[in-house]
Amino acid sequence: MEHIEIRFGSNLGTYDTDERSFQDMFQSVNPMFCFSKRIWKPQMDIFETQNQIIIQAEIAGVQKEDIIIEVSNKAVKISGIRKNARLDPAATYRLAEIQFGQFERVLYLPCMIDVEKVSAVFNNGFLQLTLGKLFSQNMKPAHDLSMDFI
């Protein structure tokens, strides 16, 4: 039976921000300035309901068993691999925009999530994660705060 691997942890937010920002800056200007193996970033949507955070990822051509989802209370990492399916190795490509190989996205969430309430569905090239929000008696409710700027 095929499945999507979901890992739970607490250290997803520990990436070196300066190093990541520096590399992202050069890659956004010109992908040839990559300092390491090229990792593509699939398109994502994040939306919120009263009780859930929902993440949709567009990862057409990826096999379900090649997807890894890592979840902490405040972040989600979606990674995997899209294998190259060249039709004819002798063909001369005139345009090659589809990215293959490793992909990865780390998404920082707008609120704490309950790792006990996580589910994933993969259908027609879209991955949908449903993450239950964490509600606690100890958490203070959100409220408006007015500030005077000098």
pLDDT in tens, 24-75: 555 555 555 545 567 899 999 999 999 999 999 999 999 999 999 999 989 9
pLDDT at res. 85: 76
pLDDT at res. 138: 37
Strand partners, 16: none
The more confidently predicted of residues 15 and 130 is: 130
Q: What is the largest CA-CA distance in the chain?
A: 67
3-state secondary structure (DSSP) of residue 29: helix
The CATH number assigned to the domain holding 73 equals 2.60.40.790
pLDDT in tens, 86-98: 778 788 888 888 8
pTM over 0.85: no
**21: containing domain:** 5-84+100-133
pLDDT at res. 89: 79
Residue 93 lies in a domain: no
Burial class of residue 76 in the structure, from the number of CB atoms within 10 Å of its CB (0-12 exposed, 13-18 middle, 19+ buried): buried
Number of domains within the chain? 1
